[in-house]
Amino acid sequence: MTLVAFEALAVTTILPEIEADLGGIAWYGWVTTAFFLGTMIGIVFAGEQADRRGAGPPYLLGLVLFAIGLVIAGLAPSMPVLVVGRFVQGFGAGVVPAIGYVAIGRAFSVEERPRMFAILSTAWVVPGLIGPVLAERITAAVGWRWVFLALLPLVIGAGALVLPAMMRLGPVDRTEHPDEQGAFATPFLRLRLVEAIRVAVGAAIVVGALTADLWLLLPGAIAGAIVGLRPLSRLTPPGTLRGAAGLPAAIASRGVLTFAFFGLDAFIPFALTNGRDRSTLAGSVAVTVVTVSWTVATWIQDRWIVRLGEALFIRVGFGVLASGIVTAAAGALPGLVPFWFIHLGGGLAGFGMGLAYAAHSQLALRSAEEHSVGATTASLQLFDNLGIALGTGVVGAIVTFGDGAGWRSGDATATAWVLSATVALGGVLLASRLPQKLVRPRAAAASLGGDEGE
pLDDT in tens, the chain (454 residues): 888 878 877 887 788 888 888 877 777 778 877 887 888 788 777 877 777 778 788 888 888 999 999 999 999 998 889 999 999 998 888 888 778 877 887 778 777 877 787 777 777 777 777 777 888 888 888 888 998 998 888 888 888 888 888 888 777 655 444 444 333 344 445 567 788 888 888 888 887 777 666 667 778 888 888 888 888 888 888 888 888 877 888 888 999 999 999 989 888 988 888 888 888 778 888 888 988 898 888 888 777 776 777 888 888 999 999 999 999 999 999 888 888 999 999 999 999 998 898 888 778 777 666 656 666 777 887 888 788 878 888 888 888 888 778 888 888 999 999 999 999 999 988 888 886 654 444 433 333 333 333 2
Measure the CA–CA gap between 358 and 384, rounded to whole angstroms: 12
DSSP conformational letter for 295: H
pLDDT score, position 350:
93
Sign of CA dihedral 4, 5, 10, 16: positive
Measure the CA–CA gap between 103 and 197, rounded to whole angstroms: 25
- All domains of the chain in start order, with CATH: 2-172+186-433 (1.20.1250.20)
Sign of CA dihedral 276, 124, 296, 424: positive
- Residue (of 13, 170, 7) closest to 93 by Cα position: 7
Quick one: angle between helices 2-22 and 152-168, nearest 10? 150
Predicted TM-score of the model (pTM):
0.71
pLDDT score, position 233:
85
pLDDT score, position 450:
36
Q: Say how many Å lie between the first and final Cα of the chain, rounded.
A: 27
Mean per-residue pLDDT of the chain: 80
Indicate the residue type of 12.
T
